[in-house]
């Protein structure tokens, strides 16, 4: 099943369903801006995330980003690091979803890998430290796109206490 059609990411529900390790899914959307403003002088490797999903876990909300590469070639290490850097500015977790990975990708710290053909996580991501303002901006855009009300903490690094504590 293809994950791209007419330059848009499609069928991502097949990916989102497999990311339940991050908690309860609040909402998800495709082509969500990772930055509040796009400046052509900045030339970021990625302005829009192929897939952003907000989960509510035991320690609070978690923004997960997924870059989908639906092609036959293996994804290279330099490309993966560029995407990890770009998504890591706004997301707490990042997956690269593809059909094939360069062997060295399995040793890239904090990078999650999702195999599209097998529809499974083949490497769990580490926890990233996003910039609070970019995290909040991306989450607010996502919630607006999904038309979901959600009480956000001011900072992605703020955790919530278990109920009754």
Identify the residue with better confidence: 113 or 42: 113
Identify the residue with better confidence: 151 or 81: 81
The number of distinct structural domains making up the chain is 1
Q: Residue 159: inside a domain, yes or no?
A: no
Contact in structure between 48 and 40 (CB atoms under 8 Å): no
Q: Residue 74: inside a domain, yes or no?
A: yes
Q: Is the pLDDT of residue 5 over 50?
A: no
Q: What pLDDT score was predicted for residue 89?
A: 92
What's the average model confidence in pLDDT over 50-61? 91
Q: Residue 165: inside a domain, yes or no?
A: no
Q: Residue 153: inside a domain, yes or no?
A: no
What's the average model confidence in pLDDT over 36-57? 72
pTM: 0.86
Q: What pLDDT score was predicted for residue 126?
A: 96
Q: Residue 125: inside a domain, yes or no?
A: yes
DSSP 59: T
Domain that holds residue 121: 4-146
Residue-averaged pLDDT of the chain: 84
Q: Residue 157: inside a domain, yes or no?
A: no
60-69/111-115 β-pairing: unpaired
Residue 129, domain CATH:
3.40.1350
Q: Residue 164: inside a domain, yes or no?
A: no
Among 9-13, 22-26, 39-43, top mean pLDDT goes to 22-26
Distance CA 12, CA 1 (A): 11
Q: What pLDDT score was predicted for residue 48?
A: 75
Q: Residue 18: inside a domain, yes or no?
A: yes
């Amino acid at each position: 099943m293809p994950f791209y059609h007419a330059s848009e990411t499609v069928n991502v529900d097949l990916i989102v369903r497999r990311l339940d390790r991050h908690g309860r899914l609040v909402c998800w959307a495709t082509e969500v801006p990772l930055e509040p403003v796009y400046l052509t002088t900045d030339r970021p490797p990625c302005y829009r995330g192929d897939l952003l999903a907000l989960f509510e876990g035991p320690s609070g909300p978690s923004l997960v980003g997924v870059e989908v590469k639906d092609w036959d070639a293996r994804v290279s290490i330099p490309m993966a690091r560029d995407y990890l850097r770009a998504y890591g500015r706004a997301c707490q977790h990042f997956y690269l979803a593809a059909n094939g990975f360069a062997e060295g990708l399995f040793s890239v710290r904090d990078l999650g890998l999702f195999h599209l053909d097998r529809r499974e996580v083949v490497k769990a991501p580490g926890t990233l430290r996003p910039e609070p303002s970019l995290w909040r901006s991306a989450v607010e855009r996502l919630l607006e796109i999904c038309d979901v009300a959600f009480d956000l903490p001011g900072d992605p690094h703020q955790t919530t206490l278990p109920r009754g504590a």
